[in-house]
Structure 1
Amino acid sequence: MLHLYDLNHAVVVIIDVLRATSTIATALYNGAKCVIPVDSVAKCIELGRQIDGITAGERDGMIAEGLEHGNSPFEYSRDFINNRTLVLTTTNGTKLLHMALERGAGQIVTGSFPNLSAVCDFLIAQNQPVVLGCAAWKDRINLEDMLFAGAVIHRVKNHFSINCDSAQIAESVYLEAEKDLYAFMKAKDASHYHRLMGFGLEKDIRYCLTPDVANVLPLYENGKLIVL
């Protein structure tokens, strides 16, 4: 629904909790030079060769064919990623970022629970219109991205005028879930919870729902996500 919003003077927060924006924050927190988001596997491979970067990404939750690394934050420890460039493509998150670019977003940052506080502090400091862009799953709503949007709204709402029913819904769902986000996802048999559990990725899910474990702000500038 991004086309419904005026992005020209807005800060757009790209949200893909499971797992792209959690992985981006983690890689940068652990010392990556930058993360370059691309919208196709072919571009990822080509660019990675050109710059001697780490090529990574997933399609449908699994490591994409032709890439060596996937979309798990646990792949990007400081020992591995420090001072290196990550070229990343994912099913939903990087696609949404490029959509926001095409629509003239004023600023783009990425957010997930691991960098919740950094995102909220930035939005309050910027004092600009905000669009919380939930990547969801193949253009369909999902629970974890709504939960993160709700968490942001709950923290920053006193600094903004909010006139959006979807924002009110997101905050209401978050307030129901905030005591134990993982248990809430499990109880609701959330689609992406169900999908990743099928791959044995409980550890990834729990990490991606944990606030402030990689609390940096990835800001998009000149084709790269860097730490502000």
Structure 2
Amino acid sequence: MEMDWHRIFFSDHPYSFFIEILIRTPLMFLAVVLILRLTGKRGVQQLSIFEMVMIITLGSAAGDSMFYEDVGLFHALAVFVVVLIAYRLIIFFIAKSEKIEKLLEGEPLYLLRDGRMCVNEIGGSEMGADEFFGELRSQSIEHLGQLRYVILEDTGKLSIFYQADDEVKAGLPVLPDDYNKKSQKIEQKGLYACARCGYTQMLQHADITTCEYCKNTEWVKAIDRKRIV
């Protein structure tokens, strides 16, 4: 069976379309760079949801016009212009209305206050507990008592505010070896942290103790080590 090398490497297009792609690609690449330059200087972590949608839209329009012969370059450029105009209009309305800004860009959410997690946000639609603990571990945090506040910004980035060394208190450990020792049964008297919200409480020997804040029944021995940077 003879191999059809032309079909393998060039599909059913003529060789001349390969040269056309070499022309289309840099033109569309420069067009995308120009449009993004006109939207302003922002890093990837600073992008809001609607800005990410804008970039995906530009990428789709640019990509299709780079190697689909039935998509004209002016069609893609028309998409670029419309997207840029829509972006500028949205920015204008965001500057005029706080409600529109919250709707399109979201608002900062507290994930932790004074060593205790905000359970309505963690474990819900905003961020899971495992993901939250992973982010804290990446910042060399061992337990929640080392923290004053943690805020989820509208860009998806965490802003972390630490306790001063002399104000660190016992809190829920986030290291897997410590956290996985959680249990409903309290074997010995001591200071424990709720495994769900981080609330700390001095507990006596008991089979089941319910957290007064989140009604959870699993507890972990609280630790109070200071943060080492």
Q: Which structure would you say has the larger RCO, counting Cα contacts within 8 Å and 6 or more residues apart?
A: 1
TM-score, reference length from structure 1: 0.21
- Greater strand content: 1
TM-score, reference length from structure 2: 0.21
Higher-Rg structure is: 2
